[in-house]
Structure 1
Amino acid sequence: MNKEKRHQFYQRLQELDPHPTTELEYTTPFELLAAVLLSAQATDVGVNKATRKLFPVANTPATILALGQEGLEAYIATIGLYRSKAKHLLETCRILLEKHDGAVPQDREALEALPGVGRKTANVVMNTAFGHATIAVDTHIFRVANRTGLAPGKDVRVVEDKLMKVTPLEFRQDAHHWLILHGRYVCKARRPECWRCVVNDLCDFKPKELTPPKGR
């Protein structure tokens, strides 16, 4: 995809959704960090169901730490891998209290030093909570970047670096959300819904279905 097409690609996604954001429900940077930690290999819908019960009771490092392992597990047991996630979240709370006065750090190095926080999670928190122009490459973004030809790469880091390089600065802040939502609801893994895609003429994907299947 050339420079002109990439600009059109993002411009159309912007026109469709001028102010995109995460579908995880949160009100503070810590709630977002906790929700993203819980969202690994889980849906945002499933995480939101759990945090709607958890956050009114405990939504700070101190109050979650006070729940303990069993107490926290009781709130998040509907989420996959909940035992290990509870352990990571509790340890993260301890570190935040001991090293950061209970606040979520904004820099990548400090975020990635937290248990269960990798580059993708750090990028989400930096972008969504603190307004940094980062792009967190999940399975949806990896698929969209490769399938469309926007920023093809063999692994997530290569795709992230390419996206940061080729995404125009004016779109970089929101690119992460546009690409995730596009991959989640339109450019789906098994059967991309090309017939309702606003960028289908810019996309490199060859076997496009431009006519919706019967019943759609």
Structure 2
Amino acid sequence: MNITHFLDTLNQMFPDAKAELNYSNPFELLIAVVLSAQTTDKAVNKVTEQLFANYPNPIALSEAQLSDVENIIKTIGLYHNKAKNIIALSKELVDKYQGEVPHEREQLESLPGVGRKTTNVVISNAFGIPALAVDTHVARISVRLGLAKATDNVLEIEKKLNRKIPKEHWLKVHHQMIFFGRYHCLAKNPKCQSCPLIDDCKYKDKQK
């Protein structure tokens, strides 16, 4: 895979790719990304409008009743655990960080419900710190295009992408790869016939 060709192709296909989660500050982004696990951005956006209206900052959310938060987010998957996590992480933001979202990786990853992928999304989108988050879409197309192996775990895929793709492209290419996987190289019925990267594709079931 020629990385320059790969980046140029993504720029042509998705020149304006960006996060599809709705947020207006680092706190809202952090909460939205935690809620987005194993569900769609559209589903998250439907619940966060009311959630952020009721609890606009860490102090408000840290004092929320679990049942009230659950009632707002109950249409998304794993809502019970997610409600507990966002209340708990809000309490930690208040107790440890004066209500501010930290931009240090170790501090973010120590928060309830926050893993490496969430941390990468937050530090890159909220703070401009280069990071390339690997979700299911990024992992899938990395393997199909030969940028990683099918046996690689998420961290191994991230490290390989970081080595191959220049750091200044990480933020944008993360969103472009998500768009490529979400709207073009789908898990089922990928749009192989119209794919400009078909010649680089290693997917065993690709259709020319």
**Structure 1 counterpart of 2:88:** 91
* 1:55 maps to which of 52, 57, 77: 52
Partner SS state of residue 44, structure 2: helix
2:118 corresponds to 1:118: no
- The range that moved more, 121-130 or 197-206, is 197-206
Distance in 1 (alpha carbons) for counterparts of 2:20 and 2:38:
15
Q: Provide the residue aligned with 1:169 in structure 2.
A: 167
Structure 2 length-normalised TM: 0.94
1:10-21 → structure 2 map (5 Å cutoff): 10-21=7-18
1:64 paired to 2:65: no
Describe the superposition over 1:120-141 as per-residue Cα deviations: whole angstroms up to 9, x where unpaired: 1101111111112111111111
User: Following TM superposition, where does structure 1 have runs of at least 4 consecutive aligned residues deviating by more than 3 angstroms?
Assistant: none
Higher mean C-alpha deviation, range 147-156 or range 106-115: 147-156
Deviations 1:93-122 (A, max 9, x none): 000001111111111100000001011110
Supply the RMSD in Å over aligned alpha carbons.
1.5
Residue 202 (structure 1) aligns with: 200
TM-superposed deviation, 1:72: 1.0
Deviations 1:182-210 (A, max 9, x none): 11111111221112223223323354324
Count of matched residue positions in the alignment of Structure 1 and Structure 2:
207
1:129 aligns with 2:126: yes
Between 11-20 and 77-86, the greater mean CA deviation after superposition? 11-20
How far apart, in 2, do the equivalents of 1:147 and 1:10 lie?
16
- Per-residue CA deviations over 1:23-73 (Å, capped at 9, x if unaligned) read 111111100100011111111111111112211221211111232211111
Q: Which is further off, 102-111 or 147-156?
A: 147-156
* CA shift in 2, pair 1:172/1:89, >3 Å: same
**Alpha-carbon distance in 1 for matches of 2:112, 2:156:** 24
2:43 equivalent among 39, 42, 46: 46
Deviations 1:129-172 (A, max 9, x none): 11121111111111100011123352111100000000123422
Task: Say whether the 8 Å CA contact 2:34–2:118 is kept in structure 1.
Answer: yes
The residue number in structure 1 matching 2:145 is 148
Identity of aligned residues (%): 44
Note if contact 2:130-2:168 (Cα within 8 Å) is conserved in structure 1.
Answer: no
CA distance in 2, matches of 1:168, 1:149: 17
TM-score by length of 1: 0.90
Corresponding residue of 2:185: 187
Rounded to whole Å, the distance in 2 between the matches of 1:6 and 1:100 is 40
Kindly state the Cα deviation for residue 16 of structure 1 after the two structures are TM-superposed.
2.4
In structure 2, what residue type is equivalent to 1:52? E
